[in-house]
Amino acid sequence: MSQALRSAKERAFQIVEKASRIRVQDARDNIGARTTGRQLKKGHNQMGHTQGALERAAKPPLGWIWGDFFRPWQRMYPGEKLFNADINSRREYIPLSLIELARLIDLGWINPSRPIDVSALCATQKFQINPKIRQYGFDLTEEGADSFPYQIDIEVQYATQSAIAAVEKAGGRVRTAYYDVESLEAAVNPKAWFEKGKVIPKRKAPPASLIEYYMDAKNRGYLSEETEMEKERQLSADVRGYVLPDVKVSSALKSIDQVFHGIPSGSVVSLADKKVFAPKNELHREYYNRQVSDKLYS
Amino acid sequence: MLTKAVMTSLCATRQAPVNVAARGIANIPAHEYHIRFDQRVGRKRPAQDVLDRFKRLNNGMWIHAHPGRHKLKYMKDETWQKTSLYYETCTKEQCEILDKLMTPYWLRQKHYPNDPYSAYHVRHNINSPRVDDRGNFVRERKKILMDDITSQRFFPDC
């Protein structure tokens, strides 16, 4: 075939006929058309040890510091007995300042004309007492003692001298009384106690370390004599320079083993029937009517 | 006759809690890796080491005794004799570590009558926020039914 015979179009067709078919592999860059990324930082060449591997590795325990390999940091310091050694024998009280008490009365959470005790304070749902973690009731503190206006009859578990004086200056009455764990549990949530059908317990005598506090008329302890308490009342009025008001609180005091006002210990309360059942058994009756409270071994 | 096991137990020296390898990589024993949890109760155990050595004040600060206060006392001066008996406060980071090692019981504010530490449970002249992100007080107890102005009037420093 001579060149002259063929046109450019024929020659193009001939070339295409001779060529192999186009495949996907043919559609690729020439060599060197694109470059792969170069190493920009030295840290990128990690040879299997990556930052993530370091992050996921086991860490030293909390407090472990480099240089002191044999103990954590918190073990460097000397032990101190005064810090936490007696935590299991300490008694914790919920602070109740006089200003908070006044606010409770102001806003109608507590009725000042009725005796105020653990049950009345807990019924406001403003305090959480857990007798199981050695919380033993309320501590009446003196914040707001300068202007406490209400004449109240209050029973707390601990009270400062200034708080006692402030309440008595307003014509009120303070008693400090001990609640053991079981009776405090009943007093904190009476509804739950009644619904369980439990017998209202007898309040036990305070432990040896507290009996002195509750027998002291200065603290208005519930085990001290009325006459002594009257003397102390007058004494604190003289010392602090105020006149005791003539009006006296007339509501009855609880007996030393009574948990609730008006409900004798040993009885069972039925909320459904709205009745209080007294014990019939002679032995139980004798036990609960004895005016001596049980000794507490704790 | 002593068996081999008895012999080894008698001759065993007290092992260091951390075995330092030759190249300076410390192998920490597995029981030291974690905050301890009680298997029976299924709860965190507070670190007893911390409870023996530190005290948490109600404002969230931790204090500890001066380490080495009984060492070579006769060599040291009067000021040191006095100040070494003081308790020291921890830094904020240290307090955070210690809080992590505790249970909620120990992070609670506790009130004891006639507490010798009562003066140290409050901070004075602090401008940092009183509340955390949840609106709870950071370093003072919650007062019931009280606005800020009344609260600051009757509880000046806490």
User: Beta-carbon neighbour count of residue B85 at 10 Å?
Assistant: 10
The interface predicted TM-score of the complex, written ipTM, equals 0.77
pLDDT band at residue B10 using 50, 70 and 90 as cut-offs = very low
Give the type of residue at A134.
R
* Partner-chain contact B54 A58, CB within 8 Å: no
Q: Is residue B12 part of a domain?
A: no
The confidence score (pLDDT) of residue B115 equals: 93
- Model confidence at A2, pLDDT cuts 50, 70, 90, reads low
Per the CB < 8 Å rule, is B111 touching A92? yes
Instruction: Write the pLDDT tens digit of every residue in B34-81.
Output: 677 888 888 888 988 899 999 999 999 999 999 999 999 999 999 999
Is the domain of B91 the same as that of B151? no
Minimal Cα distance from A101: which residue of B?
A: B144
CATH label of the domain that carries residue B67:
4.10.410
Report the pLDDT averaged over residues A255-270. Answer: 93
Mean local confidence (pLDDT), A69-84:
88
Q: In A48-90, which ranges are continuous DSSP H helix?
A: 51-56, 81-84
> Cα torsion at A22, A23, A27, A31 (round to 10°)?
-100
In-domain check, residue B138: yes
User: Bigger pLDDT: A33 or B30?
Assistant: A33
Residue spans of alpha helices (H) in chain A: 8-18, 51-56, 81-84, 98-106, 118-122, 161-169, 181-188, 190-195, 208-215, 226-240, 282-289
Residue A279: band (very low, low, confident or very high) from pLDDT cuts 50, 70, 90: very high
pLDDT at A102 over 80: yes
Whether the CB-CB separation of A92 and A128 falls below 8 Å is answered with no
Structural domains of chain A, with CATH: 92-289 (3.100.10.10)
pLDDT category, B7, cuts 50, 70, 90?
very low
> Does residue B55 sit in the same domain as residue B87?
yes
Looking at the fold, whether B80 and B135 belong to one and the same domain comes out as: no
Across B7-20, average pLDDT: 46
Helical (H) or strand (E) element with B100: helix B92-100
Residue B7 lies in a domain: no
Beta-carbon separation of B33 and A100 below 8 A: no
A71: Cα separation from own chain's centroid: 33
Nearest to B65 among A74, A77, A93 (CB): A77
Cα gap A153→A254, rounded to integer Å: 12
Q: What's the burial of B130, exposed, middle or buried (CB within 10 Å: 0-12/13-18/19+)?
A: middle
Distances (CA, A) of B103 to A50, B48, B98: 36, 11, 10
In a domain, B155, yes or no: yes
Q: Are residues B99 and B50 in the same domain?
A: yes
Domain span including residue B100: 39-110
> Do B45 and B106 lie in a common domain?
yes
- Answer yes or no: do B82 and B141 share one domain: no
Do B79 and B103 belong to one domain? yes
Question: Quick one: B81 and B104 in the same domain?
Answer: yes
pLDDT of residue B120 exceeding 70, the answer is yes
Q: Is residue B135 situated within a structural domain? A: yes
- When pLDDT is cut at 50, 70 and 90, the band that residue B31 belongs to is low
Same domain for B48 and B78, yes or no, is yes
DSSP state of A68: B
Query: Is the same domain home to B55 and B75?
Result: yes
In Å, what is the CA distance from A173 to each residue of A156, A157, B93? 11, 14, 49
Q: Are residues B101 and B130 both part of a single domain?
A: no
Which of B53, B70, B97 is the closest to A77 by Cβ? Answer: B53
Instruction: Mutation target for A interface from B64, B149, B151: give the one with most A CBs within 10 A.
Output: B64
A154 reaches B (C-beta below 8 A): no
Is B22 a member of any domain?
Answer: no
pLDDT band for position A31 (cuts 50, 70, 90): confident
**Helix, strand, coil proportions of chain A in percent (round to 5)?**
35, 10, 50
Mean pLDDT of A23-38: 80
* B16 pLDDT higher than 60: no
B9 found inside a domain? no
Determine whether the interchain pair B49/A75 forms a contact, defined as Cβ–Cβ distance below 8 Å: yes
| In a shared domain, residues B126 and B72 | no
pLDDT band at A265 (very low <50, low <70, confident <90, very high): very high
In chain B, the number of structural domains is 2
How far is A92 from chain B, CA to nearest CA, in Å? 5
pLDDT (tens digit per residue) in A216-251: 999 999 999 999 999 999 999 999 999 999 877 878
The distance of B3 to chain A (nearest Cα, Å) reads 31
pLDDT for residue A290: 81
For A141, phi then psi, to 5°, come to -105, 165
Average pLDDT for A108-134:
96
- In tens, the pLDDT along A145-194 reads 999 999 999 999 999 999 999 999 999 999 999 999 999 999 999 999 99
Asked if the structure places residue B14 within a domain, the reply is no
Q: Residue A93 to residues A121, A209, A252, B71: CA-CA distances in angstroms?
A: 13, 16, 25, 39
User: CA angle at residue A77 from A74 to A83, to 5 degrees?
Assistant: 95
